[in-house]
Structure 1
Amino acid sequence: MDTVTTAPSLPDSGSAIPASSPVRPARPLLEISRIYAEPAAAASERGRQILARWPDAEVVEVPSHWQIPELHGDERNVRRWVRIKTEALVLGTKKTLTVRPNGRSADFIAPSHANGCAMACVYCYVPRRKGFSNPVTTFTNIEQISAAIAKHSTKQGMKLEPNQCDPDLWIYDVGENSDCSVDAMISDNVRDLVELFRSLPGAKGSFATKYVNRELLEWDPQGKMRVRVSLMPAETAKLVDVRTSPMAERLALLDDLVEAGYEAHVNFSPVIIEDGWIEKWTELLRQLDAATSPATKAQLACEVIFLTHNRALHEVNTGWHPKAEEVLWRPDLQEGKVSQNGQSNVRYRWEDKLQYVRQFLDLVEHYAPWCRVRYAF
């Protein structure tokens, strides 16, 4: 295997990331040097295609994408969090092909074509499932995944009554546990899904993203894929949206998505209560107004999601990025909440959050009145 040049390690556990660190050239998001693969996944057509993209990578056979001790559940990986995301890839087979109801961002959650992410947003809930770094796992049985979506869509038929997800089509979220813009750099799974929804008369796909991958603009979705670009104030994003595309690039993507045939929405997510948060979001809304054409504004809608954090993730983050936890972990503003899966989360105290939501919606109404709010919580 060829030697892979690596960037210096992140600070050890408990040490902050210096604000005045010298600027280094940005490291590529993916420099895959080791691929952990279930045998069936590696032998599949999609698996072989992926392995061919990184012919010099070491291939490690694993019995299950859930059972890789050196990646998942080892707290010593905290100090290698980003390096693992950069260099490791997992190939697996998606066993559960269930389409689940949602009703908020989408009507349904499609079976995942991937989970995990090469980015490292400090508040992300996905690492809680497998533990610690959680690099991308790509599921190679995309034909079965697509067939399950198509079968469900056919059974649903046409949407007869509009709802907040969409007035005309059933919306299927295809990126619940990953970022499809990054997944598209690894395999053709996302492109296959774009082509699938193009052929389904009653359905539209949807995914949220924080990464600008302009390859997507070449795929001719014909209005059957909604891309929800996540936005937050640039200053905050530099602290908590680690390894994502800069906010200016995300804003510039919106018009291009619409021109390429996508439906473009935005996620104001997460809204983090910090000093000057009103002023920061005001500036972002002004930037959004300046960045978007009349055609984009005419079809744009948004979701507003206030921060929910997790105690276990807070403890992990303290080991590699404690500066971010100064704005995410705010016991003076937050209260405990036990999630549906029993995890210990925190959110802003509900009485205060009601006020925060009203303040935020007033900002949208004043600075972006053309932006329809699909929901806010």
Structure 2
Amino acid sequence: MACAYCYVPRHKGYSNPITVFANIERISAYVKRHAARQGSKPEPNECDPVSWVYDIGENSDCSVDARLSDNVRDLVELFRDLPNAKASFATKHVNRDLLDWDPRGRTRVRFSLMPPVDAKTLDIRTSSIEERIAAIDDFVAAGYEAHVNFSPVVVRPGWLQDWGDLLDRLDAGIGTAAKRQLAAEIIFLTHNRGLHEVNLGWHPRAEDLIWRPDLQQVKRSQNGDLNVRYRTGAKGSYVQALTGLIAERTPYLRIRYAF
């Protein structure tokens, strides 16, 4: 995978390697102790109403990692026995080997979706949007919690109409069981000058979509990086337009957060 917008390569030398941990037993033991110290979750939040949620794939795509090692399966099996915690990861790769792991509802798989016309340029070497939507019902039937991750949302001419078409595809492509438990996170594009410079050398067409100084402003992230995001004020109207479209086309789709 080499998604043109992904922040992961910025922290891994502008590559996107598969991650394998040699100390998975120590990691698992620490997570188990940490969850025990957390105890019961006192009140609902945007992550989950009941459980503490541990993102196990923030710096990789676990569906791909699982092709080469048992690390991800080890964690899925760990969380299925933790009464107060669940694992979560976003993915752009459909790995049906995961369907045999019996997660018992304690792992959330967030399928990343965007309009196919954007994915063709930005989601390089990933499973197609159609394949990701088609996998949702199967993952729910296998015992996973399946959510969708609308990320990144790219503003361009016709963007809202294409998102409406995507929502219609999603609605037609999943069944009642998936719709009952479905939730979404919405993340509008944040880009980075360093990655912009790299992309100009190997994938300039992507930059026509995601490097838009006329629409963007500088943002200093919590880690100190200088990034760009859509301008304050305008971005609020974009978020409102998309969330309103979701309420119209897929009213069952709960939005966990949007920014």
TM-score range, shorter chain: over 0.9
Give the TM-score of the pair, scaled to structure 1. Answer: 0.68
1:314 aligns with 2:196: yes
Structure of higher CA gyration radius: 1
AA of the residue aligned to 1:154: A
State the distance in 2 between where 1:175 and 1:363 align.
29
The C-alpha deviation readout for 1:146-187, integer Å capped at 9, x for no partner, is: 011001001111223222211111111111100000000010
CA offset at residue 242 of structure 1?
Answer: 0.2
Instruction: Give 2:79's aligned residue.
Output: 197
Instruction: Give 1:302's aligned residue.
Output: 184
Task: Trace 1:1-377 onto structure 2 (pairs within 5 A).
Answer: 119-377=1-259
AA of the residue aligned to 2:204: P
CA offset at residue 136 of structure 1?
Answer: 2.1
State the distance in 2 between where 1:305 and 1:162 align.
21
CA offset at residue 129 of structure 1?
Answer: 1.3
CA offset at residue 137 of structure 1?
Answer: 3.3
CA offset at residue 336 of structure 1?
Answer: 0.8
Structure 1: gaps spanning 5 or more residues? 1-118
State the distance in 2 between where 1:180 and 1:361 align.
28
State the distance in 2 between where 1:132 and 1:277 align.
28
CA offset at residue 121 of structure 1?
Answer: 0.6
AA of the residue aligned to 1:356: Y
AA of the residue aligned to 2:148: V
* Contact 2:148–2:184 (CA under 8 A) maintained in structure 1: yes
Give 1 or 2: higher helix fraction. 2
Q: What secondary structure, in the 3-state scheme, does the structure 2 residue paired with 1:261 have?
A: coil
Give the TM-score of the pair, scaled to structure 2. Answer: 0.98
Moved more, 339-348 or 227-236: 339-348
Q: What secondary structure, in the 3-state scheme, does the structure 2 residue paired with 1:216 have?
A: helix
The C-alpha deviation readout for 1:122-158, integer Å capped at 9, x for no partner, is: 0010111132224223111100110110010011112
Moved more, 202-211 or 153-162: 153-162
State the distance in 1 between where 2:182 and 2:19 align.
31
Q: Using a 3 Å threshold, how does the CA distance of structure 1 residues 353 and 245 change in structure 2: closer, same or farther?
A: same
CA offset at residue 310 of structure 1?
Answer: 0.1
State the distance in 2 between where 1:172 and 1:135 align.
21
State the distance in 1 between where 2:34 and 2:224 align.
29
State the distance in 1 between where 2:83 and 2:100 align.
21
Q: What secondary structure, in the 3-state scheme, does the structure 2 residue paired with 1:335 have?
A: strand
How many matched pairs? 259
* Contact 2:192–2:226 (CA under 8 A) maintained in structure 1: yes
AA of the residue aligned to 2:65: D
Q: What secondary structure, in the 3-state scheme, does the structure 2 residue paired with 1:140 have?
A: coil
